[in-house]
Amino acid sequence: MTTYSKVKQTLIDLKSAQSTMEHYAKITQDEKSRKIFERSARKLEPTLERLNKRIQRMEFEEPQYKGS
Amino acid sequence: MPDWLMTVIRSVGVLVLMAVWMRLLGRKMAARMTPFDRVYLVGFGVLAAVLVLNLIQPPLLAWIAWLTWGLTGLAYSFLSLKSKWVRDLLHGKEAVVIKHGKIMEDQLKQVRYTPEDLLQQLRGKQIFNVADVEFAVMEANGEINALMKSNKQPLTAQQLGVETAPETGVQTVILDGNILDEPLATMGLNRGWLNTELSKLDVSPENVFLAQVNTMGELYIDLFDDAIQVAQPTARQLLLTTLEKAKADLQSFSLDTDDEKAKQMYRQCATEVSSILYDVRPLLK
């Protein structure tokens, strides 16, 4: 597994974690937990962006990854 | 009409009347039976038996006695609701029998309690060592409730500084194969959601004996057929492991790369994920 695909996998994992937390924020009955889940899901956003940028950069530097 | 038939009719009639009367008197008597309540109910019951068997001639007298008893009971339950004085007079007050870890002998004598009775009552509460008790009260109905010394009380999550996921209550959504709509609505869910969750587990509602939903919207089910294994909810655990794994991956990326800027970026990401983990971990356990 190349670093590129590993980073991509991590990005996908984090995205799924984010959507799970958003789901919990909607479904939970407890106000405090709802806030924590909402905040955490939002807090994940910059990390996702950074990883996305990193992946784009990797694709730019090594075009053979693109589309894989 | 033959005598036996009259007795049957009277029995049923008195039973129905008694049932109505007990509803009027309220549930308090069943919940907190004081000695006075007991005496009152026994008297009421005996009068009912007299009525049924027609033991007093003329029967009108028995009816009058029974009615008086009943109405007084209603008045007394009403008055004791309104006035503390009446309550204390008829039910008695609670008495402090252990204070600051010391047994109050005078109080015990006053409520006619022997030391053996006290010990027995405490043992009934799993307290074998009187030294562990800080404070104990004898309630009006003779029951003893004790507060343990603070270092003998069970440990709580708060004392340990452990964060716990809030549990605002579990709703039962299927009983005996029937879907209950009201609890579902209380949780903000509907039949569509329930059917989706059940089909995820590959069961149909008719086969479910009992299903409960917790605060996090997780479904616990018990099937009629106990031989079938049902998957237990793991989504929360999964989210936790996903986040943990992402954090570890990010840390290893930052070690792997030679690009200083990327190193920095990965490290920052890992810090952020670990701060999120810190927030959500108590909720996911």
Say if residue A21's pLDDT is above 60.
yes
Contacts of A54 in chain B (CB under 8 A): 262, 265-266
Say if residue A67's pLDDT is above 70.
no
Q: Out of B168, B216, B279, name the one closest to residue A36 (CB).
A: B279
Band (pLDDT 50/70/90 cuts) for residue A19 is very high
Contacts of A36 in chain B (CB under 8 A): 279-280, 283
Q: Out of B243, B256, B262, name the one closest to residue A54 (CB).
A: B262
Every domain of chain B and the residues it spans: 3-89, 95-152, 172-221, 236-284
**In angstroms, rounded to a whole number, what is the distance separating the alpha carbons of residues B236 and B193?**
18
Complex ipTM value: 0.88
Per DSSP, what are the bridge partners of residue B210? B175, B222
Task: Give the Å distances, CA to CA, from B98 to B27, B93, B128.
Answer: 30, 15, 14
Every domain of chain A and the residues it spans: 3-65
Q: What is the pLDDT of residue B244?
A: 93
Band (pLDDT 50/70/90 cuts) for residue A41 is very high
**In angstroms, rounded to a whole number, what is the distance separating the alpha carbons of residues B86 and B97?**
23
pLDDT per residue as tens, chain B (285 positions): 788 898 899 899 989 988 888 888 777 666 777 778 888 889 988 988 888 888 888 888 888 998 898 888 888 888 888 888 888 887 778 889 899 888 889 988 888 888 898 899 899 988 898 888 999 998 877 788 999 998 888 888 888 888 777 777 788 989 988 888 898 888 888 888 889 888 888 888 888 899 998 877 888 888 888 888 887 777 788 899 999 999 999 999 999 888 888 889 999 999 999 999 998 888 887
Q: What is the pLDDT of residue B241?
A: 92
Band (pLDDT 50/70/90 cuts) for residue A1 is low
**Helix, strand or coil, per DSSP, at residue B74:** helix
Best of B243, B258, B278 to mutate (most A CBs within 10 Å, chain A):
B243
Specify whether the CB–CB gap between B277 and A17 falls below 8 A.
no
CATH topology of domain B95-152: CRO Repressor (3.30.240)
Specify whether the CB–CB gap between B242 and A13 falls below 8 A.
yes
| Ramachandran region, residue B217 (left: φ > 0; alpha: ψ -120 to 50; beta: rest) | left
Average pLDDT of A20-43?
Answer: 88
**In angstroms, rounded to a whole number, what is the distance separating the alpha carbons of residues B135 and B152?**
12
Q: What is the pLDDT of residue A68?
A: 55
Contacts of B166 in chain A (CB under 8 A): 30, 32-33
Class of domain B172-221: alpha beta
Give B156's DSSP letter.
-
**Domains B95-152 and B172-221 are alike in CATH topology:** yes
Q: Out of A17, A28, A44, name the one closest to residue B215 (CB).
A: A28
DSSP states of B27-65: SHHHHS--HHHHHHHHHHHHHHHHHHHT-SSSHHHHHHH
Q: What is the pLDDT of residue B29?
A: 67
Read off the tokens for B146: 């004790």
